[in-house]
Structure 1
Amino acid sequence: MKFRKTLALAAMLAAVPVVGVAGSAQASNCTSATSNGHCYAENQLEGNGSHPNAAGVDLDVNCLSVANRSTDFDDWEMWFATDTPQVSYDTWTEEGMTAGSLQGGYQGFLWYWADMRPNGTYNEHYIRNASVGTSTNVSVYYAGNDNDNVYLGGSLVGTSAGNGSGGLYANAGFESTTTAATLQGWADNFQYRVGSSWSWASPNVWNTNSGWVGTSASGSNLYASTGCGGGAAPLAAPAAHALPADAAQRARVLAQIVQGVATRAHGSHLGSARTTRSTRQQAIKALLGGDRVQGDQAVEVIQLNGDFSPVRSMKQRKAGALPTSNTLTILVDPATGRITDWGISNIGSAALAQLGPVSQLS
């Protein structure tokens, strides 16, 4: 996606207040009922009513962190709300940077994309490590047949399958589970496409915590900041540790991973965990609704039954609450011990056995 250049934001930066050093603040949860219990600061509703078929923005941060990396996260991202009038809750494809607590209990700073679909399925896919001080374009294009193509830096990184017939609007900005967070971020050159024509975003800032994060929009550019506190040092990448070769030790590590994901996906009424081995593409096709990603390495596949709900969300505008799902699916790269993808759905337990022999973890 090619964007027209805009002027530097030096004047804007000088005008925006630095409010608080959240990294050293007392943790405070975001509890507004209108924002799904998360804090937001975003440029919103671009293309609303005109059904855009694509949107994109250049994302950059000098800092993005949370004080408690064990439980909280914050994102600098773009949401592409999808056109699914048959359900009462919002659906979307999102892409951006996330910092803090990642699924499985480890901590880091990564690029990711995720989707919430009309069948109640929510999936997350991790792309690669992120870094501060670098502007990178993210974009989503409707690809026909209810599919959205997701691009990072101009390269296709995934496809959200079965997620509505194009877009409703696009938002870009900040999401956090806590006010004990730091951010200095730019979302520049925000555009959306209707038909074959691209339009610049108009400033329309929505901020659930205006006393905590300072925001300013000029044309198609959004700036948001809490200040970086002690500096803009990036989070370390999640440590890579190959899964143990010993079967009993391997099972214990996988059980710890699934417990961490279940906790962060608000799991309750949990059953027993099961696992098999497959490849990333096969497992996503069979268990994560047909989303497509880049890469097809071997993966350990874990499933757990219970009640789960999405971890991330865009600010809901429809009346219906996001649905809960009864199956949690996790894909782990055995070479690194890191989760590549995970999702919640209502897929039956028998689907796991289609990939290979199934073993009980717990």
Structure 2
Amino acid sequence: MSYQFFRPLLFQLNPESAHRFSLAALDQLTRLGLLPRTVIDCQPQNVMGLTFPNPVGLAAGLDKNGEHLDALARLGFGFIEIGTVTPRPQPGNPAPRLFRVPEANAIINRLGFNNHGVDRLIENVTQSSYRGILGINIGKNFDTPIDRAADDYLTGLHKVYRYASYVTINISSPNTKNLRDLQSTGALDRLLNQLKSAQQELSQSHGKYVPVAVKIAPDLDTAQIESIAALLLKHRMDGVIATNTTLSREGIAHLPVAQESGGLSGAPLKQRSTTIVQQLHGFLQNAIPIIGVGGIQSVADAKEKLAAGASLIQLYTGLIYHGPGLIRTIAQELCADQISPSSNSHESTTD
């Protein structure tokens, strides 16, 4: 109720200002001890070798630099993914670069991996008190040639390995030139081969195995999905995240904001991303877990992703339109579905 009261005021600000203001407010409430800690634990679920307290996670993009972990950890997420982070700091694309589509509960962004660089992200993570499951999403710098992209991903993997519960390889943002070319069969085969070798070396040197997942685009046909699935299996990747934002304007083409370039997220992406999850599930046959993201704005949307084959889900745009209460609503319902004599599902609010 409180978010629905404040949302019209937030929507009077431009989207980036509203984003910064909201996170700063959560940080301040946390520092003052005024933000209750919501804990929602289901029957423990093992995915990628990790035990998740509940299946609702935060998608990458909301906290690119890992600056707000302590506040976000109080909202009830089962896991949090930060980034996308690049080896070197970069400003991203010129503003304006973030656009609301309230008629469709959607957002268009062309941010372009704006972040403070991997070293700053690591500083923020080490200064945080968050000890839950942390995904770190890595990408390439905009000025790194596409044929040298593997160098950036390897740099990122080496730097974040000891701090991450899992690492996500983002090869699917539409806002970095030619990045999606890395999803082609030859390029992806070479990249995954190098990443898997590095992961094995890092596992030995750090004495722990950190899963590596790959985040893919929704703008792929069935043959491309089949090819990607085959490569994920070949290289024994640990997970796949489906999907990133779409270049399609289906569902909003009649709106003026549809002319803005960038990736579309939110409700219009839901069916497209769910279809990708379903196709991946068919090709992977439960050999590699899927994290479903894209257009989840209700319990029904979350259940649809899980029914399509996802093991976990992530939220982002739904939070913009429905507020942090959406996390609790979805997680409690999904936990209730898991209740059995051996279940330890519970929800509590402390502090």
Q: Smaller-chain TM-score range?
A: under 0.3
User: TM-score, with normalisation over the residues of structure 2?
Assistant: 0.24
| TM-score of the pair, normalised by structure 1 | 0.24
Give 1 or 2: higher helix fraction. Answer: 2
